[in-house]
Chain A
């Protein structure tokens, strides 16, 4: 049981830390991606129009 406890403790802590870091990266990178996506869609719209 101690082995399983150690496995789940480590998995849990590692996952939370990685997710916290991922959240920061996605929050910043995603904002730039939205700007780029809307610019492309706007460009497409004006090309088609």
Chain B
């Protein structure tokens, strides 16, 4: 990297005081974990906080979990590349969450069953085999999905602190430190410490989001932001349905679907609903959380837009390093002949505009976002493996003490996996596809099983099992498989299959939506062809016979 590039990347307002603020914040999180350890006795307390979470705390923990640093980073990139047109994703996510809150769709009905995990509901409704297969798929997809969180989140810290030029050395240190801290308080306190730290993280995060947004507008000027996007991107910077837009009708429908599964089917969100004190509290939690489900995308998009405007209007040194021409944006995160990826644009922008002191608070807020997502994900996947895979497979069951111990061990093991993944995985142009598709492996079938299991009496265990297997078709959305399949289809039709033609034929949203529809059809047809002979005894809300 040239001397000019090194100088441009190391320019930041981050000082020793800011490091101090970050250190104090991290210390508080660990102390909370140690303090509440005494309450984390049985599994209901350890992974469900004793089902005693009130509405406001529920909103805080829901926001903390779903507003992760990885979301902030990728959303900022989406805003940088797509302009204000990306806002449609945030508005759809908020609207769908509000509808779920008003109706209680899936989540309130699931809370009535008093289950601790989604696969536990599968067993009540469809039998033990479905629970075990569902648990394996959920944990598999979820662990794969969070593989990149650590690396991408750590890039923010490296970018905002002006250490990007030494990323090769600094990134592993940041990754290891943050992971160890999260592991300490999650292993010790389980869901109780996760929820309380989520609350602290919400307070810091919400303050940081609002203040940073105001400072960004103040620095760039409201009119200048809109005018720059208009002149650089034209109509496609505002209209998601514009002819040359990055989005389009299918994409918008796919985003509405992702908004629904993100709040009502995704296990970490549902875990919050299941920890609430009543189904009514779940509804209130979702209604209020619809605001934060909007904000979790909207503000990062705006920061990405501001980073773009900053680079093209106020930072010529960065314009030479980071791609700004929309024609370079097609390759995900890849610089169009520039040495620095778009992912670094937003943290570098914040590092330059925020004053010393405030930058420490914002960094703490973003670390809060990072930690609150990691702790919840680690707890969620490990508890699913314990409750829904290992325990049902053992004839004599598992004692409460053994379950807590196993869950703690799995948290550490998953932590080790994401550390290794973050250390050695070189992000390419398929990261976003990878995350969406690994998530879809789980949620395409989970959506069918939850909706069918809760609202359709004729849903059968065979239908559920077949739907779980059909959900694997989502993996075809991964870029290499998608393009290979597209070429094959084009060749069968008698034309010459190129990569471009294949990618245009099978877009990620198209494959994802097809997989959802296919899974639903398989579920319905198999349920009608192979109905259950009798209702399972544990078919109604009540206590888990396996716990």
Contact = CB atoms under 8 A, between A and B. Distances in A.
Interface of A: 1, 4-5, 8-9, 11-12, 15-16, 18-20, 22-23, 25-34, 36-38, 40-42, 44-45, 48
Contacts, number: 119
B45 A26 contact: no
Summarize A's interface: helix, strand, loop or mixed.
Answer: helix
Nearest to A18: B291
A27 B291 CA distance: 15
Nearest to B63: A26
B532 interface: no
Given A4-B235, A11-B87, 17 more contacts: A5-B84, A12-B298, A15-B294, A15-B298, A16-B299, A26-B63, A26-B202, A29-B54, A30-B60, A30-B199, A33-B53, A33-B54, A37-B52, A41-B45, A41-B52, A41-B192, A45-B38
Nearest to A19: B295
Interface of B: 36, 38-39, 41-42, 45, 49-50, 52-60, 63, 84-85, 87, 90-91, 94, 192, 195-196, 199, 202-203, 206-207, 209-210, 213, 226, 230, 234-235, 238-239, 288, 291-292, 294-295, 298-299, 302
In the A-B complex, list the 7 residue pairs whose CB atoms are closest, starting with the nearest: A29-B56, A33-B54, A33-B57, A23-B206, A4-B238, A41-B39, A40-B52
Given A33-B57, A41-B45, A41-B52, A19 B209 contact: yes
A31 B206 CA distance: 15
Contacts of B60: 26, 30
B288 A22 contact: yes
A37 B195 CA distance: 10
A8 B238 CA distance: 8
A18 B63 CA distance: 14
Residue from the set A9, A36, A41 with the largest chain B CB neighbour count within 10 Å:
A41
A33 B61 CA distance: 12
A4 B52 CA distance: 43
Residue from the set A12, A31, A37, A48 with the largest chain B CB neighbour count within 10 Å:
A37
B48 to A, nearest CB: 11
Contacts of A38: 36, 39
Given A11-B91, A15-B295, A23-B206, A37 B239 contact: no
A36 B199 CA distance: 14
A22 B291 contact: yes
Given A22-B288, A41-B45, A44-B50, A16 B213 contact: yes
Contacts of B288: 22, 25-26
A37 B210 contact: no
B219 to A, nearest CB: 16
A23 B288 CA distance: 10
B59 A22 contact: yes
B326 to A, nearest CB: 16
Contacts of A26: 56, 59-60, 63, 202, 206, 288
Given A30-B60, A32-B54, A23 B207 contact: yes
A6 to B, nearest CB: 10
Residue from the set B199, B234, B291 with the largest chain A CB neighbour count within 10 Å:
B291
A27 B45 CA distance: 23
14 contacts: A4-B238, A5-B226, A11-B87, A15-B294, A15-B295, A22-B206, A23-B210, A26-B60, A28-B56, A30-B56, A30-B57, A34-B196, A40-B52, A41-B52
Contacts of A23: 202-203, 206-207, 210
B55 A29 contact: yes
Nearest to B226: A5
Contacts of B207: 23
Contacts of A16: 210, 213, 295, 299
Contact of A4 (B54, B192, B210, B239): B239
B39 A20 contact: no
A41 B50 contact: yes
Contacts of A40: 50, 52
Contacts of B42: 48
Contacts of A8: 84, 87, 238
B409 to A, nearest CB: 23
Contacts of A4: 84-85, 235, 238-239
